[in-house]
Amino acid sequence: MNTKASYTASPEEVRRHLHTIPELSACEKETSGYIADQLRNAGIKVIYQNFSFHSILAVISGKNEGPSILFRCELDALPILESNDIEYKSKYPGVSHKCGHDGHAANMISFAHKLRENPFERGTILLFFQSAEETGAGAKAALDTGIFEQFNIEYVFAYHNIPGYRLGDILAKEGLFTPCVESMEVALTGKTSHAAEPKNGINPAVTSAQIVMYLDSINQPEKNSQDYFISTPIHLFMGEKAYGTSASKSSIGYTFRAWNNAFFEKQKCHITEKIMALATDNLLQCTITWLEAFKANHNDTSAVNYIQSAAKECNYPFVSLENAFEFGEDFGAFTQKYKGAMFGIGSGEDHSLLHSEEYDFPDELIEVGSNMFYKIVRQILG
């Protein structure tokens, strides 16, 4: 498909076109190409592409030297079948933008136009369109390339739309904004035998049950506890539908989350030790794979102050959150390295939930997000 734009599309047109061409994490080639065209149409000359999967970094420099400010959005979609009957429906069955990354990217294009139309005198603005956010791989991969080291980055910012809050409300808090999250897969291997002679084999059923019971025992859902730790079962497979055979293999998948990175790492060690001990005691081979890691996202106080001041200048209601959100966010890798903050923008109190089949990004938020980003720039760079 030729996605090269022959004219400067409106922010809504950009968002809706992106919605029609959703791509999974690390596969966003068509999405990336379209966004690069839109950035060129906006007059941006310095554009880095494909340095981390299909990520894009656009650079807009002022006339004089000054600090750099990075703004991040995401490119990837989800493996969800879209149920919405809309004219810009996903062209790819089973893949759709059900987290709003199409809207976040369109917001960044709108922001780019604002920066070009109203240039600033000093500093550098970095527009980072991140590949593979949903899997937790994109931020680390991008940081590991070293591409950001050439810039004097003073702050990093990002936002996410949040259903359940009034449309356009700005949501933020100092300190923890999202937890660290990581998933685990356990593969147990024993020995197959005839179902009539299970004593001649090594069946992982009992050990699998012991692991499930152990992981349930460490679940601590109390949000105000320092030991907050959510242990969520994702999948459990064992054997085959062969009723004459005693199973020899099982696979167990879990996702865990905690407020504190250090506490999470201790829990990982305990979990690994316990599962390996159970497998050894029951003569099973065991492989544990940790995947899709999201670092806790911590908001710097001064960055949150800029967000609150920007909301005031834009006449947007500001909501100071009492508690952190419980979803994982790959932007945590950036706030671990740089001062910065992530904030939310309400998608509507009755809006469809993120990652649901009915979800669709509200176009009204494109202007809200781009205005917020622009006011943040003006506050920091003058």
Assigned domain for 281 exists: yes
Same structural domain for residues 69 and 141? Answer: yes
Domain boundary among 294, 310, 332: 294
pLDDT of residue 377: 97
pLDDT band at 125 (very low <50, low <70, confident <90, very high): very high
246 shares a domain with 158? no
Max Cα separation, the chain? 81
- Residue 257 pLDDT > 60: yes
Does the residue 236 lie in any domain?
A: yes
- Name the 3-class secondary structure at 323: coil
Same-domain check for residues 98 and 169: yes
263-277 per-position pLDDT tens digit: 999 999 999 999 999
- What pLDDT does 63 receive? 87
- The reply to whether 42 and 123 lie within a common domain is yes
Residues 266 and 308 in one domain: no
Q: Are residues 218 and 103 in the same domain?
A: no
Among 294, 311, 346, the domain boundary falls at 294
Cα–Cα distance measured from residue 363 to residue 155, given in angstroms and rounded to the nearest whole number: 27
Place of tokens 């995401």: 74
Angle at CA 71, nearest 5°, toward 30 and 7? 45
pLDDT value of position 50 = 87
Residue 4 inside a domain? The answer is: no
Q: Is 5 within the bounds of a domain? A: no
Q: Are 300 and 250 found together in one domain?
A: no
Are 258 and 236 members of one domain? yes
What is the per-residue pLDDT across 278-303, written as a single tens digit (0 to 9) for each? 999 999 999 999 999 999 999 999 99
Q: Return the percentage of the chain with pLDDT > 90, whole number.
A: 94
Task: Indicate if 215 and 145 belong to the same structural domain.
Answer: no
Q: Does the CA dihedral 12-170-349-225 come out positive or negative?
A: positive
The DSSP secondary-structure symbol of 104 reads: H
Q: Tell which of 262, 294, 326 closes a domain.
A: 294
Place 5 in a pLDDT band, splitting at 50, 70 and 90: very low
pLDDT, tens digit, for every residue of 130-156?
999 999 999 999 999 999 999 999 999
Asked whether 248 and 239 are in contact (CB, 8 A), the reply is: yes
Q: What CATH code is carried by the domain that includes residue 341?
A: 3.40.630.10
- Work out the percent of the chain whose per-residue pLDDT is above 70: 98
pLDDT at residue 49 is higher than 70:
yes
**How confident is the model over 80-118, as pLDDT tens digits?**
999 999 999 999 999 999 999 999 999 999 999 999 999
- Residues 19 and 60 occupy one common structural domain: yes
CB of 165 closer than 8 Å to CB of 71:
no
Say yes or no to pLDDT of 3 above 50.
no
Is 49 a member of any domain?
yes
Question: For residue range 312-321, what is the model confidence (pLDDT) as tens digits?
Answer: 999 999 999 9
Q: Is the CB of residue 131 less than 8 Å from the CB of residue 47? A: no
In a 13 Å sphere around the CA of 148, the CA atoms on its Cβ side amount to 27
Degrees to nearest 5, angle at CA 361 with 34 and 380: 75
Q: What is the number of domains present in the chain?
A: 2
The mean pLDDT value for 368-382 works out to 96
pLDDT at 2: 38
Is residue 6 domain-resident?
A: no
Question: Are residues 226 and 99 both part of a single domain?
Answer: no
Q: What is the pLDDT of residue 226?
A: 85
Is residue 2 domain-resident? no
Mean per-residue pLDDT for 44-53? Answer: 94
- The one-character DSSP state at 78 is B
Indicate the pLDDT class of residue 4, thresholds 50, 70 and 90. Answer: very low
Domain that holds residue 323: 11-176+296-381
> How far is the C-alpha of 245 from the C-alpha of 85, rounded, in Å?
47
Which CATH number belongs to the domain containing residue 202 in this structure? 3.30.70.360
Check residue 6 and give its pLDDT.
Answer: 39
pLDDT of residue 276: 98
- Mapping DSSP to helix (H, G, I), strand (E, B) and coil, where does residue 149 land? helix
Per the prediction, the chain carries an average pLDDT of 95
Domain identity same for 244 and 138: no
What span, in angstroms and rounded, lies between the C-alpha atoms of 16 and 362?
11
pLDDT of 181 > 60? The answer is yes
